[in-house]
C-alpha cells in the first residue's frame, strides 16, 4: 500500500465519527520519499471549511501566511550545511512554496477546522482523544525530523504519554529529543508574531547543531 492509501484508511476511521474532517499528511509521496530527509510538521488545525484536503491545497502552494515560513524552514533543513543570507530567503516565496512544500508531510492534531484563533484546549483534546490515529499516522512517515509548531504538549501527550524521552537543549535554547532515527524538535508556529528571519535562523541553527553532533549524524 502507498502512504496515501494508508493515510486514507486512517482518515476513514475518523470520518465514521465526523464526516467533516480535513485530510492531511504527505503532500507529494514521490517527492517526500526522494527528499534527503523526511520532514513532518505537526500543526494545530486548518482555518475554515469541511471535508477538504490540505494536501491538495499545499501542493498548489498554500497561502503565504503559514507556508512561506514552512517552505523556508524546509529548504534550510534539507541543505543544513549551507549558509542562507536573508536577502535570498525573503524573496521568491511563491516559487519556493511550489518547490519545497511537495517534499514534506503536514499533520494537524485537530482534523476539523477551527476559527481565526486556535483554541488550544480543543486542539489538545482532539489530539488526546484520537491519539491512536495520530500516532499511527506519524509512524507511517518514518520521519527524520518532526517539527512541533507550537504543538509539543498536545503531540507529546498523544504520542509519548507512556514513554520516557530524553529532552536536550541546543546551545541557543531549542529543545529536542531523539526517538530512534527521528529528531523531534519543539518550535514555534510559523505564524508566530516574531520576525520571519528570527524563526528561520533559530530553527536552522538548531538543526546544524544537532546534525553536527556525531550521534545524530550516525542515525540519519
- pLDDT 10s digits, 150-168: 999 999 999 998 899 999 9
8 φ/ψ angles, rounded to the nearest 5 degrees: -60, -35
Q: Are 144 and 217 in contact (CB under 8 A)?
A: no
Mean pLDDT of the chain: 94
> What was the pLDDT predicted at 132?
96
> What was the pLDDT predicted at 207?
97
How many angstroms from the chain centroid is the CA of residue 138? 10
How many angstroms from the chain centroid is the CA of residue 110? 13
- Using a cut of 0.85, tell me whether the model's pTM lies above it: yes
> What was the pLDDT predicted at 216?
54
Residues in a beta bridge with 182:
179
pLDDT of 219 above 80: no
Q: Are 141 and 106 in contact (CB under 8 A)?
A: no
Q: What is the rounded distance in angstroms from the CA atom of residue 125 to the CA atom of residue 215? A: 35
Q: What is the rounded distance in angstroms from the CA atom of residue 216 to the CA atom of residue 83? A: 20
Give tens-digit pLDDT for 53-91.
999 999 999 999 999 999 999 999 999 999 999 999 999
Q: What is the rounded distance in angstroms from the CA atom of residue 123 to the CA atom of residue 97? A: 26
Give tens-digit pLDDT for 105-136.
999 999 998 765 668 899 999 999 999 999 99
Query: CA 59, 65, 71: angle at the middle one, nearest 5?
Result: 50
Amino acid at each position: 500500500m502507498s502512504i496515501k492509501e494508508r493515510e486514507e484508511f486512517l482518515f476513514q476511521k475518523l470520518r465514521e465519527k465526523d464526516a467533516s474532517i480535513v485530510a492531511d499528511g504527505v503532500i507529494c509521496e514521490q517527492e517526500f520519499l526522494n527528499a534527503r530527509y523526511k520532514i513532518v510538521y505537526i500543526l494545530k488545525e486548518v482555518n475554515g471549511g469541511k471535508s477538504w484536503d490540505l494536501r491538495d491545497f499545499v501542493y498548489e502552494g498554500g497561502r503565504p501566511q503559514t507556508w512561506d515560513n514552512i517552505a523556508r524552514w524546509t529548504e534550510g533543513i534539507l541543505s543544513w550545511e549551507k549558509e542562507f543570507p536573508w536577502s535570498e530567503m525573503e524573496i521568491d516565496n511563491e516559487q519556493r512554496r511550489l518547490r519545497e512544500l511537495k517534499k514534506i508531510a503536514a499533520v494537524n492534531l485537530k482534523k476539523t477546522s477551527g476559527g481565526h484563533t486556535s483554541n488550544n484546549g480543543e486542539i489538545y483534546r482532539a489530539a488526546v482523544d484520537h491519539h491512536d490515529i495520530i500516532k499511527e499516522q506519524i509512524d507511517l512517515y518514518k520521519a527524520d525530523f518532526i517539527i512541533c509548531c507550537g504543538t509539543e504538549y498536545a503531540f507529546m501527550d498523544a504520542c509519548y504519554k507512556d514513554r520516557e524521552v530524553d529532552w536536550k537543549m541546543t546551545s541557543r535554547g531549542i529543545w529536542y529529543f531523539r526517538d530512534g532515527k527521528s529528531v523531534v524538535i519543539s518550535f514555534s508556529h510559523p505564524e508566530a508574531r516574531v520576525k520571519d528571519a528570527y524563526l528561520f535562523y533559530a530553527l536552522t541553527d538548531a538543526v546544524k547543531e544537532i546534525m553536527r553532533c556525531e550521534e545524530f549524524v550516525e542515525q540519519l
